[in-house]
Amino acid sequence: MAMATSLEEAIMIEEAGIELVITSGSEAGGYRAFFLKPAEESLTSTRLLVHQMVNRTSVSVPVIPVGCISNGKDIADVLKLGASAVQMGTVFLATDESGGSDIHKSKLLSTQPIKTNLTKVYTGRLARVISDSLSEIFKDSTSKYSARYTIQSNFLSFFRSACPKQEKLEYLTFWPGQPSTILKHRSTKKLFDSLIKAASKG
């Protein structure tokens, strides 16, 4: 399998003989997995990407979307669009069984909608993070004030390691996707049960 952020990338993946395409929408967490156009030009939403790919005869391999899929209704929606399966990450990061830190989980399980943004400020490569003080400061000028990957990452490594020691929690970086809804499940079993039940209802 390989990841695509655009229809053109999906076509190239299939032509290379790869049998599954992971469709990374703009809402997906972490680094943008682009390889044709610049990351800033590869920001199509998850659902639109699925629609583009399954409605083109040039992409016939299974399409598995990731990004802004947070509950059973989301699963049912993308399956109706023609997706073969789904990939989910952020909702599982919030569970007790995940290896995420306590502060990360507490942010994901906030009673308020999680705000994320795309930034290059931490590593020099475009990525989705939970909005924090640093990413908010540089969100409108991230390219201007960031060095190339991985120079930017090395530049900020001391700062990032010092923040937890000095309890500057507002500068800690977390890399989830943008959830479609408020997350509430701490138990993986309960999360699975909820996803299956809601997805089966469509």
How far, CA to CA in Å, does 191 sit from each of 67, 85, 183? 17, 17, 10
**Residue range 134-153, pLDDT digits in tens:** 888 776 655 666 888 889 99
Written as six digits, the tokens of 144 are 């201007």
154-168 exposure pattern, b = at least 16 Cβ within 10 A, e = fewer: eebeeebeebeeeee
Q: What is the mean pLDDT of residues 25-52?
A: 95
Q: Is residue 103 part of a domain?
A: yes
In this predicted structure, which of 1-5, 10-14, 140-144, 153-157 has the lowest mean pLDDT?
Answer: 140-144
Give yes or no for residue 95 having a pLDDT over 70.
Answer: yes
Domain encompassing residue 96: 92-171
Residues 8 and 81 in one domain: yes
* The one-letter amino acid at 48: L
Give yes or no for residue 200 having a pLDDT over 80.
Answer: yes
Q: Is residue 62 part of a domain?
A: yes
Residues 106 and 142 in one domain: yes
Residues 46 and 96 in one domain: no
Written as six digits, the tokens of 93 are 């990061």
Residues 81 and 8 in one domain: yes
Residues 106 and 128 in one domain: yes
Residues 84 and 98 in one domain: no
95's CB contacts (< 8 A; 6+ apart) are 105, 185, 186, 187, 188, 191
Q: Residue 103 has what pLDDT?
A: 92
Residue ending a domain, among 59, 88, 117, is 88
**Using CA of residue 85, residue 90, residue 93, residue 97, what is the dihedral sign?**
negative
Question: With the CA atoms of 66, 67, 71 and 75 taken in that order, what torsion angle do they form, in degrees rounded to the nearest 10?
Answer: -40
Residues 81 and 107 in one domain: no
Q: Residue 67 has what pLDDT?
A: 98
Total domain count for the chain? 2
Give yes or no for residue 80 having a pLDDT over 70.
Answer: yes
Residues 78 and 126 in one domain: no
Residues 20 and 78 in one domain: yes
Distance between CA 66 and CA 176 in Å, rounded? Answer: 12
Q: Is residue 65 part of a domain?
A: yes
Residues 76 and 42 in one domain: yes
Q: Residue 144 has what pLDDT?
A: 67
How far, CA to CA in Å, does 67 sit from each of 34, 109, 187, 201? 14, 18, 21, 21
Q: Residue 57 has what pLDDT?
A: 67
Query: Which DSSP letter does residue 3 get?
Result: E
**Residue range 185-197, pLDDT digits in tens:** 999 999 999 999 9
**Using CA of residue 96, residue 100, residue 101, residue 106, what is the dihedral sign?**
negative
Average pLDDT, the chain: 92
Residue ending a domain, among 69, 88, 107, is 88
Which range, 71-85, 116-130, 164-178, is most confident?
71-85
